[in-house]
Amino acid sequence: MARHDELLKPKEVARELQWNIRTLYRYIRKEQLRVVRLSAREFRIRRSELERFLRERETDKAID
């Protein structure tokens, strides 16, 4: 599996983004971050999906 198609656990994504796991779940519930369902209760996030999510949020604006 290529690195961009690597499947990440929710905890790994939350740690990488320095988010609380509940924040990650909120983005998933709002369908702003797509997941791969492995079962009714288990899912993963593709590395490429995480990169897409971050690219869409890039900005050139300064933070006040």
Structure confidence by residue, pLDDT tens digits, 1-40:
566 689 999 999 999 999 999 999 999 999 999 999 999 9
Give the chain's domain count: 1
CATH of the domain at 40: 1.10.1660
Q: List Cβ neighbours of 29 (8 Å cut-off, separation of 6 or more).
A: none
For residue 1, the model assigns a pLDDT of 56
Judge contact between 28 and 21, C-beta under 8 A. Answer: no
For residue 60, the model assigns a pLDDT of 75
Decide: pTM greater than 0.85. Answer: no
Cα–Cα dist 33/27, whole Å: 6
Cα–Cα dist 52/48, whole Å: 6
For residue 58, the model assigns a pLDDT of 86
Amino acid in the structure at residue 39: S
Range of the domain at 46: 3-56
